[in-house]
Amino acid sequence: MKKTLALILAACMSLSLAACGGGNSSAPAASSKPATSQPAASQPAAGGDTKTVGIAMPTQSLERWNRDGAYLDEQFKAAGYNTIVTYSDNKNEQQVNDIQNMLSQGVDLLVIAAIDGNGLNTVMNDAGAAGVPVIAYDRLIMNDNSTYYVSFDNYTVGKLQGEYVRDALDLDNAAGPFNMEFTAGDPADNNAPFFFNGAMDVMKPYIDSGKVVVPSGQTAFDAVATDQWQTDVALDRAQNVLASFYADGTKLDAWLCSNDSTSMGVTQAVTQDYAGGNAVVITGQDGDVANLRNIKDGKQSMTVYKAVANEAVVTLDLAKAILEGKTADASLISASGWDFDCAYDTESYETTPGHKCPSFLLVPDVVTADNMEEKLVTPGYYVVGADGYLEATNG
């Protein structure tokens, strides 16, 4: 069995049905990990000097992090490491405490998906002083003690969303003008501007030429950002925009959302409050189960899928190399045997001006109603449930 699929099946066995089976993307998904920030130390593996890896995830209230936490925990344990896994309820202070506790417990390496990329300086400096390597997981930590960064190509995620809207509206051929709005992510998340810029770079020429109009006038990242990626925050803003700029019958053609939790709020607002009869093109990211239902039902148009199981594979192999004192650069990819693409990038991500963080970047993919089964079911990430909708694999 391929390395990736074996991992997914193993990891999903540790997820409860609720975590695998979905629910609203803004609702906590149950998992085998505690919902509190209390560190959950795994049983020591055999052997005297078993190394311990601290895995700090942001929250269980956004679906994907439950998957990431479970995959990482499962993999590191299977490779013989002790693990400590925390979820910090999207509170920066809590994550600082959680990481501090891990350092006190003598972890050998940290894997951190930061809540606030600028909010971890104290613990990152402590980790640096203690010689504990840190893998910034998915979200870059803006501190030079970030030893490596493992993520997807975040700019490309946004670019894929922009290109989807461009093609769905046939902007190069249709007369237009078309009306669209934007919803971006959390300003504390270093990824969020990458997603937004990738999308905006595709859309801007059409906005500049007048082919695309943004009736709200809100085209700057700060104006369309969503605190903590919350569904309710995205919903509120979308309702306000619809009431202020579309209540007079103005047609809405597309709403570019940076991810699925925000897309969920926008889709709800459009479904309830938009009076027009046309289908609105709405984008997303992550493949959250509730959003996949909306895609199948035609309420959301696409999601950019990132195989987080593969992100965990890269993280484990990188961590092993670091802990064993081996070279961790592009040669890790050639020697890996991974059955997916990954690029080694030493240019794109800076933790402080001029200080680049070596990065391993995986490749995101577009999922629609038409290719959902091919992209998600065939590789084993999801199964088709009894009701015909996709459910995450539960072993």
Residues engaged in binding ligand BGC (CB under 6 A): 62, 64, 138-139, 185, 189, 191, 229, 259, 261, 285-286, 306
Residue closer to ligand BGC, measured from CB, 101 or 294: 294
Residue closer to ligand BGC, measured from CB, 138 or 317: 138
- 80 C-beta neighbours (distance < 10 Å), count: 13
Least Cβ distance, residue 318 to ligand BGC (angstroms): 18
Distance CA 56, CA 161 (A): 29
Residue closer to ligand BGC, measured from CB, 64 or 211: 64
342 phi and psi angles, rounded to 5 deg: -155, 140
Least Cβ distance, residue 260 to ligand BGC (angstroms): 6
Residue closer to ligand BGC, measured from CB, 159 or 306: 306
Residue closer to ligand BGC, measured from CB, 81 or 255: 255
Read off the DSSP letter of residue 275. Answer: -
Least Cβ distance, residue 98 to ligand BGC (angstroms): 17
Distance of CA 2 to the CA centre of its chain: 24
Residue closer to ligand BGC, measured from CB, 116 or 286: 286
Least Cβ distance, residue 274 to ligand BGC (angstroms): 24
Distance CA 379, CA 391 (A): 13
4 phi and psi angles, rounded to 5 deg: -65, -45
C-alpha dihedral sign at 195, 150, 305, 228 = negative
Residue closer to ligand BGC, measured from CB, 171 or 342: 342
Least Cβ distance, residue 347 to ligand BGC (angstroms): 20
Instruction: Give me the helices (H) in the chain, please.
Output: 3-13, 17-21, 63-78, 92-104, 121-130, 154-168, 191-209, 221-224, 231-245, 260-273, 289-296, 308-323, 330-336, 372
- Identity (one letter) of the amino acid at 195? F
Least Cβ distance, residue 314 to ligand BGC (angstroms): 14
305 phi and psi angles, rounded to 5 deg: -95, 135
Residue closer to ligand BGC, measured from CB, 185 or 193: 185
C-alpha torsion 250→254→258→261, nearest 10: 80
Read off the DSSP letter of residue 28. Answer: P
Distance of CA 169 to the CA centre of its chain: 26
Least Cβ distance, residue 62 to ligand BGC (angstroms): 4
Least Cβ distance, residue 386 to ligand BGC (angstroms): 28
Q: Shortest Cβ contact with ligand BGC: which residue?
A: 259
Residue closer to ligand BGC, measured from CB, 14 or 90: 90
Least Cβ distance, residue 270 to ligand BGC (angstroms): 19
Q: Assess whether the previous peptide bond of 193 is cis (omega < 30° from 0).
A: no
Least Cβ distance, residue 50 to ligand BGC (angstroms): 31
Contact status, residue 81 vs residue 51, Cβ threshold 8 Å: yes
Residue closer to ligand BGC, measured from CB, 20 or 257: 257
Describe the crossing of helices 63-78 and 3-13 by its angle, rounded to 10 degrees. 110
Read off the DSSP letter of residue 285. Answer: B
User: 367 burial class (0-12, 13-18, 19+ CB within 10 angstroms)?
Assistant: buried
